[in-house]
Amino acid sequence: MTSFDFSNQNHIVFSILAIIIVVLIFLLLRYKTIAFLKERKVKKRFERGNKLELQAKSFLKSKGYTVVDYQSTYQHKYRVDGVTYTSEIEPDYIVKKKGKKYIVEVKSGTSAISVRNRNTRRQLLEYDYVVENDGVFLLDMENRNLQLIEFKPKGEKRANKLIKAIIILAIIGIAIPYWQVKVAIGAILALAFFKDRF
C-alpha cells in the first residue's frame, strides 16, 4: 500500500484540483437546488393565484354581480414622440350590477392585495383609463375583501380650480360698485369657463 506523499508536486496539484472540482460541484448543486425551489414556489403561488381567481367568480356572484367578461384583452394606443404604440391589458373580470359596469382585479398574497402597492395601483389606474366603467374594484381573495377604488380624474381637478377662481372673481365683482368692471369680470369668467370646455 502506497502512502500519499505531500512532498510530491503531482500529488499536491491533484489534491488542489480535486478540492476545486468538489467545491464547483457543490456550488452548482446549491445553485440548481435554490433555482428549483424558487421556481417551485413561484409555480405554487401562480397555481394558488389562479385557483383564487376562479373562486372569485362565485364570490362576485354571491355579492350580486353578474360576470360579463373574464380576462378579455383590451388595447389602447398612445404616442411617444409622434410614434403610435399599442398596449394590451387583461382585467380579470368585468361585472355588472344595477345597470353599472365594473372592472374587478383579483389579487392574492401579502403586498399586491393593497392599493398602496404601487404596481397594483398603477395597474388599476390603467384599467380605469382604458376600459369604460363605472368603478374599479380590487378583490383581495385572501381575505374575501372587495374594495371600490376611485381615482380623481384630471378634468375634475381643473373644474375645481375653475370653480374656485369663479367664486373669487364673483365675490370681487359683487364688491366692486362699477358696472363696467363687473362686465369685464363677467367676460373673463366666461372666457375661462369656455376655454376649459373646448
**Judgement on whether residues 143 and 166 belong to the same structural domain of the protein:** no
Q: Is residue 160 domain-resident?
A: yes
**Judgement on whether residues 107 and 140 belong to the same structural domain of the protein:** yes
CATH of the domain at 138: 3.90.320.10
**Judgement on whether residues 121 and 85 belong to the same structural domain of the protein:** yes
**Judgement on whether residues 63 and 104 belong to the same structural domain of the protein:** yes
**Judgement on whether residues 141 and 169 belong to the same structural domain of the protein:** no
**Judgement on whether residues 178 and 124 belong to the same structural domain of the protein:** no
Q: Is residue 9 domain-resident?
A: no
Q: Is residue 36 domain-resident?
A: no
Domain count, the chain: 2
**Long-range pairs for 92-96 at CB < 8 Å and ≥24 separation?**
92/53, 92/56, 92/139, 93/56, 93/57, 93/60, 93/67, 93/69, 94/67, 94/68, 94/69, 94/70, 94/131, 94/133, 95/60, 95/65, 95/66, 95/67, 95/68, 95/137, 96/65, 96/66, 96/68
| pLDDT, tens digit only, all 198 positions of the chain | 556 555 567 777 888 888 999 999 999 999 988 888 888 777 776 666 667 777 888 899 999 999 999 888 999 888 999 999 999 999 999 999 999 999 999 987 776 778 788 898 899 999 998 998 999 999 988 888 899 988 876 666 666 666 777 777 677 767 777 667 777 777 776 676 666 555
**Judgement on whether residues 59 and 129 belong to the same structural domain of the protein:** yes
Domain that holds residue 71: 54-149
Confidence (pTM): 0.56
